[in-house]
Amino acid sequence: MKLSIIIPVFNEEKTIKKVLESVLKQDIGNWEKEIIVIDDHSNDDTAEILKQFLDRIKIFQHG
C-alpha cells in the first residue's frame, strides 16, 4: 500500500525543512511513503530548500 502526503507551500523557507524532516522520519510500517510538495510560485528560498530533498520527494511548481 502507498500513503501519499501532499504538502502545499508558499514562501515557507522558515518551516519547510523541519516539516519535511519530520514527515520523512515517520514510521508507517510496511506502507510505501510518497511525499508530494506543491510550490505555489514562492518568491523566497523555498524552492532551493526543496531541492535538498529531491531524492526523497516529488516537487510540482505552480505559476
d(CA 28, CA 62) in angstroms, rounded, equals 29
Query: Considering the entire predicted model, what is its pTM?
Result: 0.91
DSSP state for residue 45 in the 8-state scheme: S
**Confidence check: pLDDT of 41 > 90:** yes
Residue (of 12, 14, 16) closest to 35 by Cα position: 16
Confidence of residue 57 (pLDDT cuts 50, 70, 90): very high
62 pLDDT band (50/70/90 cuts)? confident
* Average pLDDT rounded to a whole number, residues 27-48: 97
Mean pLDDT of 35-57: 98
